[in-house]
Amino acid sequence: MKKIVIHSPGGHSHLKLETHPDLVPREEEVVVSTHAIGVNYADVCVRWGVYESAKKFVGWPITPGFEYSGIVKSVGHKVNTLKPGDRVFGISFFNAYASEVCAPEKHLFPIPEGFGFSESAAFPAVYMTAYHALFQLVRLPKNAKVLIHSAGGGVGSALIRLCRIAGFQATGVVGGTHKVHYVRELGATHVIDKSKEDWAARARKLVPEGFDAVLDANGTSTLKKSYELLRATGKLISYGSHSILPMSASGRMNYLKAAWGMIRMPRFSPVQLFTDNKSLIGFNLSFLFDRNDLISEGMDALLGWIKDGKIPPPKVTEFPFQEVGEAHRLIESGQSTGKIVLVNDVWANVRRHEEGIPG
């Protein structure tokens, strides 16, 4: 098997393609030959060495990746629901940037009708993050007004879709004009282009009574204003701090600027929270991989919405597996919309043959 291995923190050159022994499943495990692998901003943080669960549970070397799709290659003798040849997608606690992934049976799901391998690999991490934020972490009122930062990205896109399903009024904030139409098509009630206007002033004008929830993965650059935009009983849900992670063109993190970003991070005291009657809630889904109750509930609901036609296949941008550095460059740029996936070279050649595409 082949996999991407990172031996120490750094830029794109630290993503090494290596050959390793093929995987063998234990009694309740399944080995999947991957066709596509989802790329998330968290993978970049893993490469930089700043992703907390990677440091705590894995260390160096590490293979990043939380989601993938493919064909079942082999199963353990206690696996009951899957067999070799089945088309599946799944979640993994790292290790998805590989031609083979070994996972517990309970973390694998059949590819939904209408979804291809790339769309399936782009689905579980962002939609489970969005589902957990909106439905498991908090209870929002009917017709809640929700502000979503980075609304054109993977998690942002999923949040907009799920708000529409729940009947919430979603206002999306995007960093470029080319993302406005995309986010509006997802179902956003309003879209704010912060490259052209003061996003906070515009949000206040659109929803003067304040938001029931703000979803913020930026951190330093927006967290304080996001809190100020909440109405009484509003929830500020933080699931990242992208704005304190500046990088160079080579993909290396600027640690001096990151330290300055941490110094500027707004502080919230318990007294301030209960006086304002607001909540600050943070989470990292990678610390919840042992909560099979949450994963099962979330995936059952999401797959049901797919079956009902409420969640269409996500928009994806594909990169060949060996161009993982280019995939990281794109997600770091903040210019992408939807999800980025790595496509296994062997499967890509098969697909080109089936579709009559040269190469």
**In sequence order, what are the residues at sequence separation of 6 or more whose Cβ sits closer than 8 angstroms to the Cβ of residue 41?**
153, 154, 217, 240, 242, 331, 332
Query: In terms of residues, how long is the chain?
Result: 359
Chain-wide mean pLDDT for the chain? 91
pLDDT at 334: 84
For 131-149, what is each residue's pLDDT tens digit?
999 999 999 999 999 999 9
End-of-domain residue from the set 253, 282, 311: 282
pLDDT at 204: 98
For 306-322, what is each residue's pLDDT tens digit?
999 999 999 999 999 99
Q: Above 80 in pLDDT, residue 250?
A: no
Region 116-122: mean pLDDT is: 97
d(C-alpha 120, C-alpha 109), whole Å: 10
Q: Which of residues 164 and 359 earns the better pLDDT score?
A: 164
Same domain, yes or no: 182 and 238: yes
End-of-domain residue from the set 245, 262, 282: 282
The pTM score is: 0.91
Q: Provide the domain count of the chain.
A: 2
Q: Which of residues 274 and 6 earns the better pLDDT score?
A: 6
d(C-alpha 120, C-alpha 68), whole Å: 7
Same domain, yes or no: 218 and 348: no
pLDDT at 352: 45
Same domain, yes or no: 110 and 241: no
37, 96 in Cβ contact below 8 A?
yes
pLDDT at 287: 86
For 261-271, what is each residue's pLDDT tens digit?
666 777 888 88
Region 321-345: mean pLDDT is: 92
pLDDT at 353: 43
For 73-113, what is each residue's pLDDT tens digit?
999 999 999 999 999 999 999 999 999 999 999 999 999 99
Same domain, yes or no: 106 and 172: no
Domain containing 154 equals 138-282
We report the CATH number of the domain holding residue 329 as 3.90.180.10
